[in-house]
Amino acid sequence: YDSETREYISTSTEYLAVGVGIPACSCLDAPGSHKAGYAICRSADFNSWEYVPDHRGEIVYSTETGESKEITAPGDYPEKTTTIATLTPYDKWDGEKWVTDTEAQHSAAVDAAEAQRQSLIDTAMASISLIQLKLQAGRKLTQAETTRLNAVLDYIDAVTATDTGTAPDVIWPELPEA
């Protein structure tokens, strides 16, 4: 048997000289027949064989964090785990199933919408930076530049006024053509 897991590995025939003991991690009694879903392991006191649940290769999820983990050793499922996967990053375990924390989900969507708002404003500001530079240098703008500047400023006003509380269903205004 395996020295760490006490799992039955195989049978072998050993010829021993008189006065020599059996090899380490060996025993004289044969294990029972294989059962699906179980590993045959030596008992903790090493006096008998026992069937131990074998979930190796299965994925379990922490009921505290939702983090997944593969089972790699024979035995029962680890405490505070379930075989049921989370559906969203905002799921919390209620003792029987995952329940989505809709407040946390909405809050994250609003935060993402706020970040999107800032990204849209930054992109718009970058698109008129040359026009702003000309104004700062005291140069006159062409009619097309003035029209473009006003259109982008109107766009920035519209983005700023957009309600992110409806996230994730926010409808953003379109950036004016260059």
Predicted confidence (pLDDT) per residue in 39-89, tens digit: 999 999 999 999 999 999 999 999 999 999 999 999 999 999 999 999 999
Task: Name the average pLDDT for the chain.
Answer: 94
Q: Does pLDDT of 11 surpass 90?
A: no
Weakest-pLDDT range from 18-22, 85-89, 140-144: 18-22
The number of residues making up the chain comes to 178
Distances in Å between the Cα of 26 and the Cα atoms of 1, 43, 100, 162 are 6, 13, 51, 73
Q: Which tokens go with 162?
A: 């957009």
Q: Which residue has the higher pLDDT, 22 or 40?
A: 40
Q: In sequence order, what are the residues at sequence separation of 6 or more whose Cβ sits closer than 8 angstroms to the Cβ of residue 43?
A: 6, 49, 50
Q: What is the mean pLDDT of residues 97-118?
A: 96
Report how far residue 153's alpha carbon sits from residue 151's, in angstroms, rounded to the nearest whole number. 5
Can you give the residue ranges of every domain in the chain? Answer: 1-54, 59-99, 102-166
pLDDT at 15: 85
Long-range contacts formed by 119-124: CB under 8 A, 24+ apart = 120/159, 120/172, 120/175, 121/156, 121/159, 121/160, 123/175, 124/152, 124/155, 124/156, 124/159, 124/175
Report how far residue 152's alpha carbon sits from residue 149's, in angstroms, rounded to the nearest whole number. 5
Residue 25 banded pLDDT, cuts 50, 70, 90? confident
Is the link from the previous residue into 168 a cis peptide, with omega within 30 of 0? yes
Q: What is the mean pLDDT of residues 147-176?
A: 95
Which among 86, 90, 85, 94 has a CA at the least distance from the CA of 109?
90
